[in-house]
Amino acid sequence: MSAALFAPIEIAGQTFDNRIVVAPMCQYSGNDGCASDWHMTHLGMLANSGAGLVVVEATHVERQGRITHGCLGLYSDADEAALARVVDHCHRIGTAKIGVQLAHAGRKASSQRPWEGGKALGPDQDPWPTEAASALPFGPGWHTPRAMTEDDMERVVAAFAQAAARAVRIGFDAVELHAAHGYLVHAFLSAVSNQRTDSYGGSRENRMRFPTAIAQAVRASVPRTVPLGARVTGNDWLDGGIDVEEAIVFARALKDIGYDYVDVSSGGLTAEARNPTTPGYNVPLAEAIRHATGLVTRAVGLIVDPKQADAIVSEGKADMVALARAMLDNPHWGWAAARALGTETRRPPQYLRAGPSLWAPAARGA
């Protein structure tokens, strides 16, 4: 039985074993931006999940661009060395390729870890000033950011370029720009959060000006032999916000710049925004963007069932699927999906004896 989910895919000259991606998931366990032993264990485990690609969590291009005190960064030599240690480990012991998502949190920075409350840092929690497209807080009780100046934008563009260069030196197999979930790039793109009256606000073209400058700088830092993509929002789920037609315009701009793929997510722009809760709710958005742009497209959002994941690919709705919490729940989800779809996926030789060809319970799907 053939399964589209387990067919190889080539992007920018690199071949990925299958269409399964471990989505970037913040662990809030860094040490002043540096990856820790937690990341070594967490990502090392997911490198053998059966996925073709594991994307490291949102990795911030500036210290003040982190979401929390525990978020990863790639803005210093220490950050680079710590992350290189983790990536080298994953390449050495894992079967998956390893990517990284470059980010700046914007007005959602300076916040608590989720298990600390997930709100804005209080005065006694070492908060830092935030910046954004406009001086509008993420929600009630959040810090009011400073509206960025052109000098600020130039600084951030340079920071993205430098972080991308660090990612290439580390040896990541793919690089991804975070342009969704209400963080800095997304907040410039949406008319809900960008209420500027200068050349960076107002019209769609103006709102795209700073995001495309970042995209161009990252593209210039990443060789064409390294797949480069972006996580984009397909819908803000807010009146006056980005819809799929506007998302298509931005995706086309990324393609023109030379991006190889998009990962289609949605929501997260404001504290009040509420996403749908249907498994695969972003798939129609991904399908529309894929058909309109021809970009390699990844779908993400409550995808759990292997048959649903396979159908998304086989029916041409997306080229790849990304899973997050499902991978935390079952770090060998790819192995289980292969069994459910009547096929096999690569696993480390130390675990071959648990495969369906050597172990009856696995063959029965037990």
Which residue type, as a one-letter code, is found at position 259? Y
Residue 183 designated active-site:
yes
Within 13 A of 209's CA, how many CA atoms are on the CB side?
15
Would residue 286 be called left, alpha or beta, if left means φ above 0 and alpha means ψ between -120 and 50 degrees? Answer: alpha
Task: Tell me which H or E stretch contains 297.
Answer: strand 296-300
Instruction: Tell me the C-alpha distance between 183 and 185, whole Å.
Output: 6
Instruction: Tell me the C-alpha distance between 184 and 261, whole Å.
Output: 20
Which residue type, as a one-letter code, is found at position 33? G
Which residue type, as a one-letter code, is found at position 358? L
Which residue type, as a one-letter code, is found at position 196? R
- The residue to which tokens 């008319």 are assigned: 191
- The residue to which tokens 């937690």 are assigned: 38
| 3-state SS assignment for residue 146 | strand
Structure tokens at 143: 């810090």
What residues contact residue 116 under an 8 Å CB cut-off, 6+ apart?
Answer: none
Asked whether the beta carbons of 104 and 61 are under 8 A apart, the reply is yes
- Write out the E strands in 104-173: 131-132, 146-147
Give per-residue burial for 141-174: e unless 16+ CB within 10 Å, then b. ebbebebbeeeebeebbebbbbbbbbbbebebbb
Among 183, 200, 261, 281, the one annotated catalytic: 183
Give the active site residues: 183
